[in-house]
Structure formats: C-alpha cells, structure tokens
Amino acid sequence: MLKRVLLFFLFDFLITMMVVAKAAIPWGFWGHRHINYYAVFCLPEAMLPLFKTNVDYLTRHAVDADQRRYLLAEEAARHYIDLDHYENELGEVCLPQNWKTACDSFSMDTLKAHGIVPFQVYWSYLHLQKMFEAHDVNGVLKAAADLGHYVGDAHVPLHTTSNYNGQKTGQKGIHAFWESRIPELSGEQYLNFVPAVNYIDDPQSFIWEAVLESHRLLDTVFLMEMVVRERLGEEELYTIAKKGQSLQRVINPVYARAYEDAMHGMVERRYRSAIHALSSLWYTAWVNAGQPTLPFEKVNIVADTLLLTQDSTLVLPGHAE
Ligand SMILES: [Zn+2]
C-alpha cells in the first residue's frame, strides 16, 4: 500500500514538473497579456478607435510569438540575447546596435546563436510603422501584438544572459520564479497605469537602452536570490499548493515576497516600464507613418494556420524559457 502511495506521489510530482516546465513561458501568459492590455489605455485619443476596439485581440495574441517557437527554427533567437557573450574585460557590452554593422563585426551566425531580441524589437517596430503607412488594419494589429511580446521579453533581465535559468550559478529555476511565479502571486497588486506615451526620437537607441537596463539588473537578480535563499533556509523554499485538481510543489509565497522585497519591486518596475515602452513605440510608429486616421473597426483576423498546427513535442532551440 505504502509503495502505491509513494508511486502515486512520484507520478503526481512528475506530472507537476511537466506542467511547470511547459508553463514557464516568458513573463507567463499573465505578464505578456497584461502588458499588451494596459499599453492600449496609455495611447492618445486618436489611436483609441482601433486599439481600444480590438483590445481583446491584442491581449489574446500577446503570446503568439512564443507559440511560433514550436514551428519556426528562427523564432527562438528573437526572444533573448546573451549580452555576456559580447562583454569586454570591464564588463561593457561591445555590440553595435545596427544589424549590418553587428553582422560585419561578429557574423550573422554568431548573432543568431546568441539571440537577437533588441534587433527583433526594432524590426517589429519598423514593420508596424509600415502597416500604418499601408492602412492595413489587420496588419497593424498583428504587428502591434507581436511588438508587445518582444518588448515584454526585452524588459526581463534573464532574457539578456546565457545564464538565463541560473544554471551556471546553482540557481536553476530562477527564470520562471522571476517572471512567472512572482507576477502570479503579486501581479494583481501592481500599478497598471503608467505615464502617458512619449514620442521617441530614436527608437533603435531607445530599444537598446531598455535591453541594456535589463542586463544591468542581472547582478541584483542573482545576488538577491542567493541572499534570500540563505536567509530563509532551503526548507522554506517550496510548499505544496492545490492547482486545479492536483497538488503541486510551488515556490513558497514567503520566499517569493522576500525576494521581491530584496529587489525593491524590480519585477513590477520592469513590468510597468514595458507597458510604457510599448505604448510609446506604438505611438511613435503611428506618428512616423503620418498619423493615419484609424477606424472604429472590430477586426476578425483568421488565426494563423501555423499556430493551429503547433506540435508541442518539438524540441525548442535556444533558451528553453
Ligand atoms: Zn518570448
């Protein structure tokens, strides 16, 4: 009997681990969707007819880019960048912001092997501007939703290092802890409304500054997790919680709260910065496209057939989270 009980717990534990691993999507669904949702309400009135009318679309499709990783080999590299690969002995990042110049310095293969999120955010921004210029309403919404996803990823410090899951520093699991577990526990208390949009003179530099700021925060991300873990002791780190129909081993809320406090609310600050950056980029693309009049039109975009054929058994290249 005891053997059967143990087997049952082992099986349940394995299932739980599988569910947790699969759920460890950047910013979690919660983060990406909330960033796209709240960015809409920062926009000036002239943009609201289209964006507010389709806020459901922008929210639901905030994670399309992650789903594409199962289908397109080149998609994975768009979600992160290993900036540590480009650091000199002083810890300064030596990577040109211009794609062509960067390719000349390091080769395109090297760039793709270490992730390209800042380049991708800029390309997505340019694509959105093009969709505004073409008055392509469906194209604008698709591009705006995807831009939101990449902007969200660019604001997560752990998307800017090859030690993306703490695997090099004995902190395995820190990725999902920072971007999924903490928002899951505290996200509803976060301040969602951020300052009104800014027009961005130089979108490329602005995007790079956001990514570099994420990278600068890594010291705190790693150090504070170690400090808090040591202070609370290993036995305080996990607890069992009911999720749906099953019991799951999850990070203890006490530990999560202590980590968040030790980082002085960094997760909330990055979340709010992402909302502000996204709405400002949407706005700038629209201004640079000549401020086209946007219709009150609820679009009905047919789902991307690629996404419908998603095969989750595929092994993802690049960072697993
Ligand atoms: Zn992503």
pLDDT band at 303 (very low <50, low <70, confident <90, very high): low
Residues in the chain: 321
| The residue type at 6 | L
- Name the residue among 69, 12, 62 with its Cα closest to residue 32: 62
User: Distance from the CA of 4 to the center of ligand 1, in angstroms?
Assistant: 40
70-to-19, 53, 65, 141 alpha-carbon distances in Å: 17, 30, 10, 22
Taken in order of first residue, the domains within the chain and their CATH numbers are 2-70+116-306 (1.10.575)
Q: In this model, does residue 279 exceed pLDDT 60?
A: yes
CA angle (203, 198, 154) in 5-degree steps: 50
What is the C-alpha separation between 125 and 122, in angstroms, rounded? 5
**Three-state SS at 247:** strand
User: What would the pLDDT profile of 133-160 be if each residue is shown by its tens digit?
Assistant: 999 999 999 999 999 999 999 999 999 9
Per-residue pLDDT, 70: 86
User: Distance from the CA of 264 to the center of ligand 1, in angstroms?
Assistant: 25
Contact by Cβ (8 Å): 192, 38: yes
User: Distance from the CA of 49 to the center of ligand 1, in angstroms?
Assistant: 28
User: Distance from the CA of 232 to the center of ligand 1, in angstroms?
Assistant: 31
Q: In this model, does residue 309 exceed pLDDT 90?
A: no
User: Distance from the CA of 146 to the center of ligand 1, in angstroms?
Assistant: 10
User: Distance from the CA of 79 to the center of ligand 1, in angstroms?
Assistant: 5
User: Distance from the CA of 87 to the center of ligand 1, in angstroms?
Assistant: 23
User: Distance from the CA of 272 to the center of ligand 1, in angstroms?
Assistant: 17
User: Distance from the CA of 242 to the center of ligand 1, in angstroms?
Assistant: 28
Paired tokens of 195: 């300052």
Contact by Cβ (8 Å): 160, 86: no
| The residue type at 185 | L
Per-residue pLDDT, 318: 54
User: What would the pLDDT profile of 192-244 be if each residue is shown by its tens digit?
Assistant: 878 889 999 999 999 999 999 999 999 999 999 999 999 999 888 899 988 77
Paired tokens of 151: 């902007």
Q: What value does the mean pLDDT take over residues 288-313? A: 71
User: Distance from the CA of 218 to the center of ligand 1, in angstroms?
Assistant: 18
User: Distance from the CA of 137 to the center of ligand 1, in angstroms?
Assistant: 24
Average per-residue pLDDT in the chain?
87
Percent of the chain at pLDDT above 90? Answer: 72
User: Distance from the CA of 269 to the center of ligand 1, in angstroms?
Assistant: 19
- pTM score, two decimals? 0.86
Q: In this model, does residue 253 exceed pLDDT 50?
A: yes
Percent of the chain at pLDDT above 70? Answer: 85
User: Distance from the CA of 151 to the center of ligand 1, in angstroms?
Assistant: 9
User: Distance from the CA of 150 to the center of ligand 1, in angstroms?
Assistant: 6
User: What would the pLDDT profile of 92-123 be if each residue is shown by its tens digit?
Assistant: 999 999 999 999 999 999 999 999 999 999 99
What is the C-alpha separation between 162 and 318, in angstroms, rounded? 10
Q: What share of the chain is helix, strand, coil (3-state, %, to 5)?
A: 65, 5, 30
Q: In this model, does residue 6 exceed pLDDT 90?
A: no
Q: In this model, does residue 1 exceed pLDDT 80?
A: no
Per-residue pLDDT, 192: 83
User: Distance from the CA of 177 to the center of ligand 1, in angstroms?
Assistant: 16
pLDDT band at 300 (very low <50, low <70, confident <90, very high): confident
Q: In this model, does residue 301 exceed pLDDT 90?
A: no
